Amino acid sequence: MTESPRQRATVRERFDAFVQPTLNGLPNRRVVLVPLGVLLGLLIVLVGLGITGSSTGYLNQFVSTAPDDRAIVGSPQSIRSDEWFVQSTWAVSQEEQGLPVRNESFPGGMDATVQHDLPALDWSLVLRPHLWGFLFLPLDNAMALKWWLPGFSLIAAVYLFSVTMLPRRPVTSTFLALGFFFAPFFQWWYLTITLFPPAWALLLMSTVVWLVRGASRTGQITMVALTAYGAAAVGTTIYAPFIIAATWPALAFVLGFVFTRDSMPGASLRDRLWRLRWLAAAAVAAVAVLGVWLATRWETIESFTSTVYPGERLQPVGDSSLTDFHSLMAGVFSRGLEGQNGVPLGGNASEASTFLLPGLFLVVPFIWLIVRRLRAKNGVDWLAVALLGVGVLFAAYMFVPGWDALSHLLLLDRTTPGRLRMGFGILSLVMMVVVAARIDELKKFDRGRIVPIWVPIGATALAFGSTALVAAWLYSVGSPLVTIWTWVPVFLLVLACVAAFSIGRPLAGATAFLVASVFCGATVNPIYRGVYDLNETDLVAAMERIDRGGEATWVGIGETPIPTVALVESGLHSYNGFQSSPSDEMWEQIDPDGDVEYVWNRLANVSWSAGTGAPSPTNPAPDQIHMTFDSCDAFAQENVDLVLSESPLQQDCVQLVETVREGPSTYRIYEVLPN
């Protein structure tokens, strides 16, 4: 039975009443709180079930012949080692040690409050809400909160920004928020350092709109408080490349919105600036809190920034190649990244990942809107100008050399072309929302065809041409990515998205954007129950039994991650693990004269193999330190008590203590004997 015109009209009237904006043009309370409440409910369910997207299940193949019963859907991604090998492993180690401020796995310990996004019983945990679960939840549920809260914060921030600009379009805003979350870049780089900066940037933009347009006192206080808290929280991630990439589009929006005359009709520029006074005060407070955090762990931060890798890297401007351009614009080819390990768009799937960027092609309607406004003598649309300006700034940073001094002043040289993709992704999203808002404003006064036909044609032509260039290049280098034809429907969806936003049909555009993003990014990470914890294995049980009451020091030897992960997660003292910055005590024992400091003074994984003589550090990769172990050498004799090895250790100064069979693998535990 179909609805009658009268019934359809009634449904429409009810929806219009539900989304009716406030008198100052902001979304009403229902439009803001109902979708965010649903999102919160979903978060509670996922945390309660202990569901994550972790790839720690990658370890199962090494210690079990049975399928991983924690895996629900999908497969772990080995390239996501920042998550499964580094962050999750150290988080389990923290849990085992009782959340110490200084993790004592390495000789000399490691500050657990700066790198690796770790829970620790320190006041700064207040600034890391995704880690609060470690205080009162079981490990699996705490890991679920750690996994989902940053991502859900991003969804919430995008929704809030979009519905702030488009208060009558909660469905469009929901689709945009979900589509942005499923961007291949975020899914392949799913970490707090990639999710919190854009979430904060979009929250800042929303807060400025609420303040300028005169939200209720409760709304203003809430938004200002959240923005200030978010600023301090993002600052503690300390990863400048992503923070800078996210901040520039936000600054462009803020300046453009405040300086555009009709952002708040009837208010002068002075009035608009005055309405931001509480945000400025909150910014001072956030900077003060962050300053205290930095001052109280400055030694750790200074140690990290003085490393050989990554150190305090500065990127020269105009240093990007044609490959960097292709990688930036290759979002429609994201479905094939896993099979090709990102090649030729990057060194691996994560480095090759990018965004679908339909908003960048809306430069055509942006220019049309700017010119139309000038012709109507309504003043300059500084918001549109500022957004286009930051796009030009980003492009110049990548491809125009010769202005390094200015780039340094603007802090751009502290990011990289690959990390700057986040800035382009945020800019694309904001341009989509702003175009939709501007055309909606025009429709209030003209119900006919608003946008001339050449505008959507020009925008879609740009989108078509950009992808055609990337496809031609991939074909010329013989990449299979161009022959994985699943990119074609994604490409058509992006074209549809660009065309729909260009003519003022944002719901259709957002729908196309969501479908394309889900197709490209939703299957990257598995659906997993909790975290794969090696403390539940017979191997770690044997290690803990043999360990001398927590006083022994270990070295792990092997070709797989298991010796290192087992030692770190168990919390036993060892020379294995991913170091955020070198421990002075540890490296004085290994290299007392500092002869090879350039090899070990870096953020890197420390691993070992059997050898002869003193430890000989080498760098198989910039973030890898590989060393040789000789049980009869002075270093081992003075500092090492026990050895965990995947292979028989043919050395005179060790004695086999126990052999442990774990699934397909056999592990041997040796005691170091006097020479």
Element holding 288 (H helix, E strand): helix 277-295
Query: What's at 386, amino acid-wise?
Result: A
| pLDDT tens readout for residues 53-85 | 999 999 999 999 999 999 999 999 999 999 999
Please tell me what DSSP assigns to residue 71: E
Sheet containing strand 71-73, edge to edge, reads: 51-52, 527-529, 71-73
* Of the candidates 656, 642, 673, 671, the residue with the CA atom closest to the CA atom of residue 554: 642
pLDDT of residue 4: 65
| Paired strand residues for 554 | 574, 642
Cα 521 off chain centre by: 14
Element holding 644 (H helix, E strand): strand 642-645
**CA dist., res. 361 & res. 271, Å (int):** 34
Query: What's at 336, amino acid-wise?
Result: G
Q: Would you place residue 390 in the very low, low, confident or very high pLDDT band (cuts 50, 70, 90)?
A: very high
pLDDT greater than 70 at residue 124: yes
Alpha-carbon distance values, 505 to 20, 171, 399, 430 (Å)? 19, 13, 34, 16
306: phi then psi, degrees, rounded to nearest 5: -95, 10
Q: Would you place residue 550 in the very low, low, confident or very high pLDDT band (cuts 50, 70, 90)?
A: confident
Element holding 179 (H helix, E strand): helix 170-181
pLDDT of residue 2: 58
Q: Would you place residue 3 in the very low, low, confident or very high pLDDT band (cuts 50, 70, 90)?
A: low
Contact 474, 333 (CB under 8 A): yes
145: phi then psi, degrees, rounded to nearest 5: -65, -40
pLDDT greater than 80 at residue 446: no
* Of the candidates 244, 228, 278, 242, the residue with the CA atom closest to the CA atom of residue 126: 228
Residues 67, 68, 72, 75, CA torsion sign:
negative
**CA dist., res. 205 & res. 291, Å (int):** 23
pTM of the model: 0.96
**CA dist., res. 77 & res. 184, Å (int):** 14
Q: Give me the mean pLDDT over the 160-167 stretch.
A: 98
| pLDDT tens readout for residues 249-294 | 999 999 999 999 988 888 899 999 999 999 999 999 999 999 999 9
pLDDT of residue 399: 96
Q: How many CA atoms lie within 13 A of 568 on its CB side?
A: 24
Q: Return all residues near 141 (Cβ < 8 A) that are at least 6 apart.
A: 47, 48, 50, 133, 530
**CA dist., res. 636 & res. 610, Å (int):** 12
